[in-house]
């Protein structure tokens, strides 16, 4: 059996200080209006959970009106505040739902 490549080959930089990756966050409805865009690109450094991400978004101009407990979807599923987020995930910030 062929040896597996060393795992570090596939890992992003380990040091948080050198993480230059970007999280892309889709915005909808009122939240898109508040932030003036339907897609945010946020430096991933220092963000490992949904809670971290929301805190960063709320610090942006227009972001203070977004609820601390706003819904966040990660890979099309509603996530909890302590759910992990990475730049590989599809992340969306969802205003209170109003279908029907």
Partner 1 sequence: MGFLSLAGLELAELVAAVAGPDRGGIACFIGLVRDHHQGRRVRGIEYRAYEPMAESVCGAVVAEAEAKWPVRVGLRHRLGELVAGDAAVAVVTAGAHRDEAFAACRYVIEEVKRRVPIWKRERFDDGTEEWVDPTRLQPSGDLRLGGNGW
Which residues are near partner 1 by CB under 8 A?
Answer: 26, 28-30, 33, 67, 69-71, 73, 76-78, 92, 94-100
> What are the angstrom distances between the C-alpha of 14 and each of 8, 19, 40, 82?
9, 8, 24, 21
**Min. distance of Cβ 49 from partner 1 in angstroms?**
16
**75 in Cβ contact with 92 (< 8 Å):** no
Please report how close the Cβ of residue 26 comes to partner 1 at its closest, in angstroms: 7
Q: Which is nearer to partner 1, 62 or 95 (CB)?
A: 95
Judged by beta carbon, residue 9 or residue 69, the one nearer partner 1 is 69
Q: Considering the complex, what minimum distance in angstroms separates the CB of residue 78 from partner 1?
A: 7
Q: Name the minimum Å distance from CB 16 to partner 1.
A: 29
Closer CB to partner 1, 42 or 73, in the complex: 73
Is the distance from CB of 70 to CB of 95 less than 8 angstroms?
Answer: yes
Cα–Cα distance, 56 to 90 (Å, whole number)? 17
Tell me if residue 11 falls in helix, strand or coil. Answer: coil
């Amino acid at each position: 059996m062929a040896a597996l490549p060393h795992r570090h080959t596939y890992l992003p930089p380990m040091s948080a200080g050198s993480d230059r990756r970007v999280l892309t966050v889709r915005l909808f409805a009122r939240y898109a209006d508040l932030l003036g865009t339907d897609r945010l690109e946020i430096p991933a450094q220092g963000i490992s959970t949904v809670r971290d991400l929301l805190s960063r978004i709320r610090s942006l101009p227009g972001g203070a009106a977004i609820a601390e407990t706003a819904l966040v979807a990660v890979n099309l599923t509603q996530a909890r505040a302590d759910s992990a987020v990475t730049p590989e995930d599809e992340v969306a910030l969802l205003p209170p739902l109003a279908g029907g």
